[in-house]
Amino acid sequence: MFIAVFDIGGTSIKYGVLNEEGTILMDKAFPAEAHLGGEVLIQNVIAKSKELQQEWALAGIAISSAGQIDNKTGVVVHATDNIPGYTGVRIKQRVEEATGLSVTVENDVNCTALGEYWKGAATDAENFLCITIGTGIGGAIFTDGRLYVGARFSAGEIGHINLYPDGKPCTCGDHGCLEQYASSSALQEMIKETFGYTINLREFFDRLRTGDPKGMAVYNKWIDNLTTGLKSIVHTLNPELIVIGGGISAQGDFLLDPIKESLSEKIMPNYQVNLDVRIAQHANQANLLGAAKHFIDQKGG
């Protein structure tokens, strides 16, 4: 069985073909053109799906998408203006009608969690939190071996925990949200405020590894912001594992060790028992894996 998989983001649309064992047989990407709106984005997905139909005997299409997604009907419950006009788009219906194939749709961070649970860092965990750190902060919750999506398919929005009341304005309309202080873009902003000019994150981490004191002060403050938010989640959910994904996770132990140390100083001792923190194993491919896993589960294996 071959499954076409798509991961819809604001910058690019990653896609590929997997088999039911979770082997990625091919994967590529193309620009999302999200600024042109949700309608153009879906048309691009449909066009690429038809191309793949000509090359592969597809059993269906599995989609991972930004936004809050009704994972049964495949409708975008809510999306920010990163993709204008995306809220309300009936992804599943549109792609099924255009291709004649079965289609499933799930939120992108939920797909990260599903992919890491199936084939990655969380294969031995039943109760865990997955957090992705990028332009914003996304979250997904697993309880008793199942994805928890909440009453309106919107659980896990940990980027919008209030960290500093009356703080920086957030895209959600509130102020002081965690992602304004602990996302990759927040770290980039802190670096610019401190040094007076822009330094890309790869160069910044190179500086940190030389022991740059000014840079380490910025990094430690950013870690403190992140773990203050994680403290609330740990005390609420009591997970056995936190999986950290997103582009910044490529820093590996240089990211992981400070998070572990800072978090252990903040949470109550009994919450530290059996709590592990790990880096996601599959990076950008986790969403493709998770989308395929969701398809397989929805279609009865």
What tens digit of pLDDT does each residue of 57-100 get?
A: 999 999 999 999 999 999 999 998 889 999 999 999 999 999 99
* CA 286 from centroid of its chain's CA atoms: 9
Q: What is the pLDDT of residue 13?
A: 96
Contact call for residues 27 and 288 (beta carbons, < 8 A): yes
What average pLDDT does this structure show over 2-30? 95
List the Cα angle 138/117/228 in 5-degree steps: 35
Averaged pLDDT, 192-205: 96
pLDDT of 45 > 70? The answer is yes
**Interval 246-290: pLDDT, tens:** 989 999 999 999 999 999 999 999 999 889 999 999 987 999 999
Q: What is the value of pTM for the model shown?
A: 0.94
User: Which residues, including other chains, have CB under 8 Å from residue 50's CB and lie 6 or more apart?
Assistant: 98, 99
Arithmetic mean of pLDDT, 3-10: 95
Q: What tokens were used for 182?
A: 């602990």
Cα 6-34-169 angle, rounded to 5 deg: 115
Q: What is the mean pLDDT of residues 37-46?
A: 96
Binned at pLDDT 50, 70 and 90, residue 301 comes out as: low
- For the chain, domains (ranges, CATH) are 2-107 (3.30.420.40), 121-279 (3.30.420.40)
Closest CA to 266 of 224, 219, 216: 224
Strand pairing class (102-107; 58-65): parallel
